[in-house]
Amino acid sequence: MNLAMIGTGYVGLVSGVCFSDFGHDVICVDVDAEKITMLERGEVPVYEPGLDDMMARNMAAGRLRFSTDLAAGVAGADVVFISVGTPARRGDGHADLTCVYAAAREIARSLSGYTLIVCKSTVPVGTNREIGRIIAQENREAGFHVASNPEFLREGAAIEDFMRPDRVVVGVEDPKAKALMARVYRPLTLREAPIVYTDPESAELIKYAANAFLATKITFINEIAALCENVGADVKSVAKGMGMDKRIAPKFLHAGPGYGGSCFPKDTRALARIGQEANSPMRIVEQVIATNEAVKHRMIDKVMDLCGNNVNGKKIAVLGATFKPLTDDMRDSPALTIVPALVEAGANVHVVDPQGRKEGANLLVGVSWQEDVYKAIRDASCVLILTEWNEFRALDLDKVARIMREPKMADLRNIYDPAEAGAAGLTYVSVGR
Ligand code: NAD
Ligand code: UGA
């Protein structure tokens, strides 16, 4: 099939590359000419494990192309995917649909023959119908249907998630459109991946409900972690014991410095907004948003406390800046709240992150970036672990303690054993233990 992806960010690029790997002919379109030039040269603009090889293979096979020319991309396509960004709107937290509707208008002008338009972006309930209305208004001749197909991939594991999804969700009403979607995803259904066919409104809501539920699960364990600290329990044991119940499951029960990333923060805010507008307040989600903010501030207090409530002039080594490992994405990373607070308090902050520097350099003002973890730690008065990159999991703790000015560690991802850290001579704090 001929597919066009409009928007070549994390989702558009990963989906486009994976669809081409299925054997479809894919053109990925973006308004960002610099990004398209890079991609045409075979360079991947984001860090996503395995994406470069798969992209190169499919470009070489002639199944994957990149362009800034939306009209040409849409004209030859059986199915056009909208995968542009839907960030939180400044002020009210609503999903900003400017790019989605702009893309819909532009797509409409280029339609010829029958085309299926599929919205992959995360969008509030009713957006797919509005896309249909816009296209019909812009191009009265166009033969088309609209389908909702929210994406559930995670950054850092995007290819695996796309190729082996727990489920594919398709919100579609027309049988012809449904049959086309079945053809698009046939390679996955052959591998027994389940497809949930439903109406567009339910598909749109499944995406927000799933993300909000996962954000709630993380926030729940973060609140249990705070309780553990006050009553002398260990959150890792609590999470393990809870997670063994199949109805609860062990995933997303890791306590930490609060969830971040390009989606949970904006999608929880958008769902709260959707609830308010539908006169059906999402009180749990509203509380999750507030508690997650409080968690980040609790982490600042924890570090300040470890440092005797004075970091002025002290060197602090921060290990990890991205919102999670295996990505270069800094969007809504807890580091963006915690690091500026330390800089503000006068700390001399040295940051190490295997992939975060390019994006982080503009976002974390007044810090020094280091490539070598031990160089960052030398003469520091505190090591602060913010992201659980593998590179930080096997430090020589004896060496760490030896080269520090004051051997203190705040491990906000619970990657070390408190007894081991103590034995190495570190004053060690973690989360919920
Ligand atoms: P992104 O910001 O990385 O990329 C969006 C791209 O769209 C940008 O390259 C931008 O230049 C391009 N764009 C904007 N308007 C355009 C237009 N009119 N024509 C062509 N290109 C245009 O966004 P993302 O992280 O890929 O997210 C896209 C959507 O997918 C969002 O709704 C997001 O919530 C959802 N989502 C993201 C993830 C993720 O892990 N990042 C996972 C699941 C769902
Ligand atoms: C998340 C979802 O997992 C995807 O299914 C979804 O498609 C995506 O959002 C989206 O809609 O964009 P992602 O943001 O890439 O994916 O990352 P996650 O692995 O979910 O982690 C999100 C945040 O939660 C990170 O800051 C991570 O450190 C934190 N987290 C996660 C915890 O603190 N504890 C956990 O147990 C799990």
Q: Residues 294-319: pLDDT tens digits?
A: 999 999 999 999 999 999 999 999 99
Residues 225 and 366 in one domain: yes
Question: Is residue 140 exposed (0-12), middle (13-18) or buried (19+ Cβ within 10 Å)?
Answer: exposed
Q: Which pLDDT score is estimated for 408?
A: 98
Tokens 């969700």 — which residue? 169
Residues 287 and 330 in one domain: yes
CA 202 to the chain's CA centroid:
22
Decide: 149 and 167 in contact? Cβ < 8 Å: no
Q: Which pLDDT score is estimated for 90?
A: 82
Rounded to whole angstroms, how far apart are CA atoms 410 and 431? 9
CB distance 216 to ligand 1 below 6 Å? no
Instruction: Identify the CATH number of the domain in which residue 203 sits.
Output: 3.40.50.720
Domain count, the chain: 2
Which residue puts its alpha carbon closest to atom 29 of ligand 1? 121
Distance 83 CA to ligand 1 centre (A): 5
Sheet holding 114-119, edge to edge: 64-67, 25-29, 2-6, 79-82, 114-119, 143-148, 168-171, 195-198
Q: Which pLDDT score is estimated for 300?
A: 98
Rounded to whole angstroms, how far apart are CA atoms 105 and 373? 49
CA atoms within 13 A on the CB side of 351: 28
Rounded to whole angstroms, how far apart are CA atoms 386 and 367? 15
Distance 154 CA to ligand 2 centre (A): 7
Widest CA span in the chain: 75
Rounded to whole angstroms, how far apart are CA atoms 298 and 259? 13
Q: Kindly name the residue from 18, 28, 263, 307 that is annotated as catalytic.
A: 263
Distance 120 CA to ligand 1 centre (A): 9
Residue 3: phi and psi, rounded to 5, are -120, 145
Decide: 197 and 170 in contact? Cβ < 8 Å: yes
Tokens 């086309």 — which residue? 180
Rounded to whole angstroms, how far apart are CA atoms 159 and 353? 22
Of the three residues 173, 198, 223, the one that is the final residue of a domain is 198
Is 382 catalytic? The answer is no
Q: Is 201 helix (H, G, I), strand (E, B) or coil?
A: helix
Which residue puts its alpha carbon closest to atom 29 of ligand 2? 259
CB distance 85 to ligand 1 below 6 Å? yes
CA 203 to the chain's CA centroid:
19
> Nearest bound ligand to CA 30?
1
Decide: 4 and 12 in contact? Cβ < 8 Å: no
Decide: 251 and 266 in contact? Cβ < 8 Å: no
Distance 260 CA to ligand 1 centre (A): 17
Rounded to whole angstroms, how far apart are CA atoms 260 and 369? 21
Q: Which pLDDT score is estimated for 99?
A: 98
Decide: 118 and 148 in contact? Cβ < 8 Å: yes
Per residue in 34-57, pLDDT (tens digit) is 999 999 999 999 999 999 999 999
Tokens of 217: 């699960």
How many residues are recorded in the chain? 433
The single-letter DSSP state of residue 88 is B
Structural domain harbouring 60:
2-198
Integer angstrom CA distances of residue 178 from 142, 182, 197, 286, 378: 18, 6, 8, 35, 60
CB distance 211 to ligand 2 below 6 Å? yes
Tokens 């409530």 — which residue? 309
Interhelix angle 283-306/335-344, nearest 10 degrees: 40
Residues 189 and 225 in one domain: no
Residues of the chain with pLDDT under 50: none
Residues 93 and 41 in one domain: yes
Distance 215 CA to ligand 2 centre (A): 8
Ligand 1 pocket test: pick from 5, 10, 34 the residue with the most ligand atoms within 8 Å of its Cβ: 10
**Which atom of ligand 2 has the smallest separation from the CA of 323?**
26
Looking at every residue in the chain, the average pLDDT score rounds to 97
Distance 231 CA to ligand 1 centre (A): 44
Of the three residues 177, 198, 219, the one that is the final residue of a domain is 198
Residues 160 and 213 in one domain: no
Residues 194 and 243 in one domain: no
Q: Is 298 helix (H, G, I), strand (E, B) or coil?
A: helix
The closest of 150, 126, 129, 92 to 270, measured between CA atoms, is 92
CB distance 273 to ligand 2 below 6 Å? no
Tokens 């303690």 — which residue? 401
> Nearest bound ligand to CA 156?
2
Q: Containing H/E element for 116? A: strand 114-119
Of the three residues 198, 224, 240, the one that is the final residue of a domain is 198
Residues 268 and 244 in one domain: yes
Residues 70 and 86 in one domain: yes
Per residue in 161-177, pLDDT (tens digit) is 999 999 999 999 999 99
CB distance 253 to ligand 2 below 6 Å? yes
Please enumerate in sequence order all residues whose Cβ is within 8 A of that of 399, keeping only pairs 6 or more positions apart, or say none. 374
Residues 23 and 161 in one domain: yes
> What are the percentages of helix, strand and coil residues in the chain, rounded to 5?
45, 15, 40
Residues 219 and 255 in one domain: yes
Q: Which pLDDT score is estimated for 114?
A: 96
Residues 155 and 259 in one domain: no
CB distance 95 to ligand 1 below 6 Å? no
Residues 308 and 189 in one domain: no
